[in-house]
Chains A and B, each alone.
Chain A
Amino acid sequence: GENVEQHPSTLSVQEGDSAVIKCTYSDSASNYFPWYKQELGKGPQLIIDIRSNVGEKKDQRIAVTLNKTAKHFSLHITETQPEDSAVYFCAPQGGKLIFGQGTELSVKP
């Protein structure tokens, strides 16, 4: 069946460093690639997304890159801040609605 894998599962960085989270998927029908941020005690919130006809998208300190041939897309956060600490999920959309396992990002001041 369809598979979605996220790496790493935990990531700890110093404030100001960059963070990269990778999502690999198996469903070649996937054509919409969002990233969600879940803060403690809250629901996941869409932070950035990309569609299959685009290779990269940037919004201030966050960016998403897509490699459709290799079936992976990545979340890039630059100049990390303590408020970036959260769990991040990828959820490539095609047929099945599957979320990645989540990446717990910790930004140390």
Chain B
Amino acid sequence: DTAVSQTPKYLVTQMGNDKSIKCEQNLGHDTMYWYKQDSKKFLKIMFSYNNKELIINETVPNRFSPKSPDKAHLNLHINSLELGDSAVYFCASSQELKGYTFGSGTRLTVV
């Protein structure tokens, strides 16, 4: 059983399109995150949700909209994709003061 699963694993799309990435965790964790990893491997927090409530929203363009239908799911919708959005996006979950469990990542390529 995968603890944090995200789909799709690969996503190739054209500029201007709208796409979604889904994430689900079966660990019973209260907090879920979206991270962006660029080509230099920097991991940057984008959003954090605690029990379906947004608690962190870093300086991310408003073309990115997270949605948490319940505490086990956190989806990421991206409008009007741009070349600079190409990266690997990781979903993660955690309980307070415990380590994160990451998904295996979604490699987004915008052409």
Q: Which residues of A contact B (CB under 8 A)?
A: 31-32, 34, 36, 38, 41-46, 49, 51, 87, 89, 91, 93, 97-99, 101-102, 104
Contacts and interface: CB of A to CB of B under 8 A. Distances in A.
Contact of A43 (B48, B56, B98, B103): B103
A36 B35 CA distance: 14
A85 B97 CA distance: 27
Contact of B42 (A42, A45, A93, A102): A102
Given A43-B104, A44-B100, A45-B102, A97 B41 contact: no
7 shortest A-B CB distances, which residue pairs? Answer: A43-B102, A46-B99, A99-B43, A102-B41, A34-B99, A97-B45, A32-B97
B33 interface: yes
Interface in B20-72: 33, 40-45, 48, 56
Given A101-B42, A102-B41, A46 B101 contact: yes
A97 B56 contact: yes
Interface residues of B, number: 21
Given A41-B105, A45-B102, A101-B42, 17 more contacts: A31-B97, A32-B98, A34-B100, A36-B100, A38-B41, A41-B104, A42-B104, A43-B103, A43-B104, A44-B43, A44-B100, A44-B102, A46-B101, A49-B98, A97-B45, A98-B45, A101-B40
Contacts, number: 50
A49 B99 contact: yes
Interface of B: 4, 33, 40-45, 48, 56, 90, 92, 97-105
Contacts of A49: 98-99
From A36, A99, A102, residue with most partner B Cβ within 10 Å: A99
22 contacts: A32-B97, A34-B99, A36-B99, A36-B100, A36-B102, A38-B41, A42-B104, A42-B105, A43-B92, A43-B103, A43-B104, A44-B90, A44-B102, A46-B99, A91-B100, A93-B97, A97-B33, A97-B45, A99-B42, A99-B44, A101-B42, A102-B42
